[in-house]
Chains A and B, each alone.
Chain A
């Protein structure tokens, strides 16, 4: 398997606040990578750096061998990188169908259409004409995932899909993941829910305070090691880093 995404020694952050410290991860084509970690570990910043929404301070991001740093955020979609943002962030002025269609704005060729998204998420079928703001959280998340798929991605970044949703809904949404990857997309999943992450992923990376604290195949990791890496036990906890930026 060839690496689809190679992040090496990436440092990034917001203003004066550094969120990532020389972080390196690799995602192989066809593999699902889960990035786990506590609040403020740098998970969301990592995704936003990959999509180009936050600037890269140092280090490189390579996608299919190509250096992404000179590519602005809106052009990275055309390369095949798409993201389901944390909090879903549907467009309230657009109805469900339009939200899906706007995901395909770049007209990148591929298998995904509104009809195919509805096949994967049948709950959306009666909702296509509705305003996105009146949907339940789970329905909104399905639209957000569908919207990302409409870009016909090679790499789909899923940020906290489970956030604020009932466990049964989360399981339904994740049940669609094999079908998504079967259509040729590689998934990078950010989760706080370790159990969910381990269940769907081939590889797991744990972040702690902007650095990789543990990585390996999900089948081979011990629960105790993950807990230690997640909370930084065994390391001396440095004070100061807290916040919503995951």
Chain B
């Protein structure tokens, strides 16, 4: 029997066939994959997962595809780094970083969702894939489409970081730069998706695509020795990642793969675009859309599709949300790099900044086993830190020049 039963509306519960659709005809609520957990439970086990491939596809039993992975076979199963230096700095006993800055092939967690989306798009017979993106998603869709031999259109806002624009062009998709912000791009793509028979990974393929994020929760539990952490800190743009991490943890518990889940799900945003965190902090269960203005461009979604559900997941898990300023984002990036040797993009700076705040406020306690999700690579957002990292020490190619500059006894690198 198939592991996918149907698509189901998250608002009214109406069921649909597992096609390329994402909206409920009746109430416009988003659709989600409904699984046949009874069947899955019969075959899944820790042993079977541990014997699987060293990628996120070791959890294929819980991913919305019918056959094998045909696109993105190497995505996921990134390092879980025990962050001893950062933990000591913050005053935590046990801190881990789920390091998706080295995800394959485009260095962000988006490789997970795209592997699922394109595998599913192929199963549904699509030859053209597309996406609306703040950068990382476009990079991943473009790379995977090239490898899969699919036609590709990516739509991006007009103000992206240079590396993220180049990181599309190199794979030779059609790159459409839209004069507007991400929310404009997204709205436009929703309208284009209605007129063209393309697989828009985060629109009509979204019910499948979004499920790929669950693998971050599965890997977290497995890499911690089959235990769920006490606290997680997750960056939020649309809010989808946070809701899927919560879902993934609950699935593992329901399937008996982990005995208990008491994880608090904490959400992180940048002040310049914090519709979800602001709603949490003001005690609202709905968000007000905003016009983004932050260096954390990968999180700059002013009208977050899953904002409502992210608030719900945080409330259910008794977690918290908070926000940080652009300066704190830069500080967070530097702190992570200088304590753990991991160069994260701005979203990582947001996560570390909020982690720091939550520890300071006593919301995350010293003894809590904590996991922070580092979802993208710093080499893609160099503009954000270029004025904050100092410069090299310049000398003549002579020993005299070296000695004069460093005056024996001094050690170490650049002037900061």
Do chains A and B stick together as partners? no
